[in-house]
Structures are given as C-alpha cells and as structure tokens.
Amino acid sequence: MPEFLEKKLKARYGADSAIPFKIMNSLGYMRGSKETAAGRAAQAKHESNLAQTLRKSRGGMPSKG
C-alpha cells in the first residue's frame, strides 16, 4: 500500500482508525487488505517525485551548455 498516504492519513485520523484503509480502498489503491496496481503506481510516482525534488534541492540541475 502507498506508505506515504497511509502515514498521512493515520496522522490525521489516528493510528487505530479504519478510515485510512477505507479511503485507500475507495481510491482504488487497495482491495481489502491487498495493494492494487494503482497503489503500487502511486507509491512509485511519489518516490520518483521525492527523488526529483531532492535532486533539485541539492543543486543537481543539469547545466545548460
């Protein structure tokens, strides 16, 4: 399941709440207790965006030349 979303939702609704899982099920990221392809894609996209943001913040922008 998308860990970034799970952490965010648990922080908002409480660690013992069922609401985060209901939200991820309704978004199509999970089906019951199993992660779907959409959930894996969301996690991969999040990790890609995070890596890109870190590269930009470290000054890893390619030079125009």
Give the tens place of pLDDT for each residue, 3-53. Answer: 999 999 999 999 999 999 999 999 999 998 899 999 999 999 999 999 999
**Which pLDDT belongs to residue 22?**
94
Q: How many residues belong to the chain? A: 65
**Which pLDDT belongs to residue 13?**
95
Whether residue 24 contacts residue 9, with contact meaning beta carbons closer than 8 Å, is answered with yes
Q: What is the pTM of this model?
A: 0.71
